[in-house]
Amino acid sequence: MRIVDLLSKESILLNGAPKTKSEAIDMLIDLQVKGGRIADKAEYKKGILARETMGSTAVGEGIAIPHAKSSSVTGPSLAAMTVPGGVDYESLDGEPSNLLFMIAAPNDGDVHLEVLSRLMTILMDEDFRAKLLSAKSKEEFVDVIDNMEKEKFPDEVQSAAENDNKGYRVLAVTACPTGIAHTYMAAEALEKAGKKMGITIKVETNGSGGAKNILTKEDIENCDGIIVAADKSVEMSRFDGKKVISTKVSDGIKKPEELIENIVSGNAPVYHHTGAVAEDSSADNESFGRKLYKHLMNGVSNMLPFTVAGGIFIALAFLIDTIAGAPQDSNFGMYTSAAAFFKTIGNVAFNFMIPVLAGYIGMSIADRPGFLVGLVGGSLAATGSTFTAVAGDIPSGFLGALFAGFVGGYLMLGLEKLCDRMPKSLNGIKPVLIYPLAGLGIIAVVMCAVNPFMGIINTAVSDFLNHMGSSSKVVLGCILGAMMSIDMGGPFNKAAYVFGTAAITTGGYDIMAAVMVGGMVPPIAIALSTTFFKSRWTEEERKNGPVNYIMGLSFITEGAIPYAAADPVRVIPSCMVGAAVAGGLSMLFNCTLMAPHGGIFVFAVVGNWAMYLVALAAGSIIGMLMLAVLKKKNNKI
Amino acid sequence: MVSKTVTVTNEQGIHMRPAGVLAAEMKKFPGCTVTLKVGEKTAKATAIMQLMAAGIKCGSVVEITADGENEQAALDKAVELFESGFGE
Other residues' Cβ atoms within 10 Å of the Cβ of residue A46: 14
Q: Is the pLDDT of residue A282 over 70?
A: no
Q: Is the pLDDT of residue A204 over 80?
A: yes
What is the nearest CA distance from B52 to chain A, expressed in angstroms? 5
Percent of chain A with pLDDT over 90: 21
Other residues' Cβ atoms within 10 Å of the Cβ of residue A449: 11
pLDDT in tens, B22-69: 888 888 888 899 999 988 888 888 888 888 888 888 888 899 999 988
User: What is the structure's pLDDT at A399?
Assistant: 67
User: What is the structure's pLDDT at A161?
Assistant: 44
Quick check: B73 contacting A, CB < 8 Å?
Answer: no
Instruction: Assess whether B15 carries a catalytic annotation.
Output: yes
Percent of chain A with pLDDT over 70: 86
Top-confidence range, A94-103, A191-200, A415-424, A559-568: A94-103
Q: Is the pLDDT of residue A163 over 70?
A: no
B15, B50, B52, B73: the catalytic one is B15
Cβ of B23 within 8 Å of Cβ of A63? The answer is no
Confidence of residue A560 (pLDDT cuts 50, 70, 90): confident
Reduced 3-state DSSP string for A99-167: EEEEEEECCCCCHHHHHHHHHHHHHCCHHHHHHHHCCCCHHHHHHHHHHHHHHHCHHHHHHHHHHHCCC
Tell me how far apart the alpha carbons of residues A190 and A203 are, in angstroms, rounded to a whole number.
8
User: What is the structure's pLDDT at A468?
Assistant: 55
Residues 6 or more apart whose Cβ sits within 8 Å of residue A293? A231, A491
Query: What are the φ/ψ torsions at residue A87 (nearest 5 degrees)?
Result: -140, 145
Query: For A3-162, which CATH superfamily applies?
Result: Mannitol-specific EII; Chain A (3.40.930.10)
Other residues' Cβ atoms within 10 Å of the Cβ of residue A241: 11
Are the C-beta atoms of A175 and A207 separated by less than 8 Å?
yes
- DSSP string across A439-483: HHHHHHHHHHHHHHHHHHHHHHHHHHHHT--HHHHHHHHHHHHHH
Q: Picking from A19-23, A299-303, A448-452, which range would have the lowest pLDDT averaged per residue? A: A299-303
Strands A77-87 and A7-13 come out as: parallel
Mean pLDDT of A183-201: 85
Cβ of A113 within 8 Å of Cβ of B53? The answer is no
Confidence of residue A376 (pLDDT cuts 50, 70, 90): very high
User: What is the structure's pLDDT at A37?
Assistant: 85
User: What is the structure's pLDDT at A155?
Assistant: 67
Q: What is the mean pLDDT of chain A?
A: 82
Confidence of residue A329 (pLDDT cuts 50, 70, 90): low
Higher-confidence residue of A59 and A372: namely: A372
Mean pLDDT of A528-541: 87
Using CA coordinates, name the residue in chain A closest to B43: A121
Confidence of residue A179 (pLDDT cuts 50, 70, 90): low
pLDDT in tens, A433-468: 888 999 999 999 998 888 887 667 656 655 655 555
Q: Is the pLDDT of residue A614 over 90?
A: yes
Q: Which amino acid is at B41?
A: K
Which residues from B are below 8 Å from A53, CB to CB?
A: none
Quick check: B48 contacting A, CB < 8 Å?
Answer: yes
Cβ of A112 within 8 Å of Cβ of B24? The answer is no
Which residues from A are below 8 Å from B53, CB to CB?
A: 117, 120-121, 124
pLDDT in tens, A582-605: 999 999 999 998 877 667 767 877
Q: Picking from A107-116, A533-542, B50-59, which range would have the lowest pLDDT averaged per residue? A: A107-116
User: What is the structure's pLDDT at B36?
Assistant: 92
Are the C-beta atoms of A446 and A549 separated by less than 8 Å?
no
User: What is the structure's pLDDT at A637?
Assistant: 43
Q: Is A30 exposed, middle or buried (CB count within 10 Å of its CB: 0-12, 13-18, 19+)?
A: middle
> Which of B13, B49, B55 faces A59 most closely, judged by CB atoms?
B49
User: What domains lie within chain B, and their CATH numbers?
Assistant: 2-87 (3.30.1340.10)
User: What is the structure's pLDDT at A277?
Assistant: 42
3-state secondary structure of A27: helix
Mean pLDDT of A207-214: 75
Mean pLDDT of A197-202: 85
> Which of B12, B16, B21 faces A59 most closely, judged by CB atoms?
B16
Is the pTM value of this prediction over 0.95?
A: no
Where in A194-267 does DSSP place strands (E)?
201-207, 210-212, 225-230, 243-247
Quick check: B60 contacting A, CB < 8 Å?
Answer: no
Tell me how far apart the alpha carbons of residues A373 and A474 are, in angstroms, rounded to a whole number.
39
User: What is the structure's pLDDT at A615?
Assistant: 94
Quick check: A95 contacting B, CB < 8 Å?
Answer: no
Q: Alpha carbon B6 to chain centroid distance?
A: 9
Higher-confidence residue of A373 and A264: namely: A373
Cβ of A51 within 8 Å of Cβ of B24? The answer is no
Top-confidence range, A125-139, A535-549, A555-569: A125-139
Mean pLDDT of A609-636: 88
CATH architecture label of A170-286: 3-Layer(aba) Sandwich (3.40)
User: What is the structure's pLDDT at A166?
Assistant: 56
Strands A170-175 and A225-230 come out as: parallel
Tell me how far apart the alpha carbons of residues A549 and A526 are, in angstroms, rounded to a whole number.
8
Sign of the CA dihedral with A449 first, then A450, A453, and A458 last: negative
Mean pLDDT of A624-635: 84
User: What is the structure's pLDDT at A100?
Assistant: 92
User: What is the structure's pLDDT at A494?
Assistant: 66
Tell me how far apart the alpha carbons of residues A225 and A238 are, in angstroms, rounded to a whole number.
12
Q: Is the pLDDT of residue B85 over 90?
A: no
Confidence of residue A281 (pLDDT cuts 50, 70, 90): very low
Which residue ranges make up each domain of chain A? 3-162, 170-286, 290-458, 470-630
Tell me how far apart the alpha carbons of residues A454 and A449 are, in angstroms, rounded to a whole number.
10
pLDDT in tens, A379-432: 988 888 888 878 776 666 666 788 889 999 999 999 888 888 888 777 778 888
Using alpha carbons, select from A390, A385, A361 the residue that is nearest to residue A374. A361
Mean pLDDT of A496-515: 81
Tell me how far apart the alpha carbons of residues A481 and A510 are, in angstroms, rounded to a whole number.
12
Q: Which amino acid is at A611?
A: M
Quick check: B44 contacting A, CB < 8 Å?
Answer: no
Cβ of B16 within 8 Å of Cβ of A118? The answer is no
Q: Is the pLDDT of residue A85 over 80?
A: yes
Partners of A58 in the β-ladder:
A64
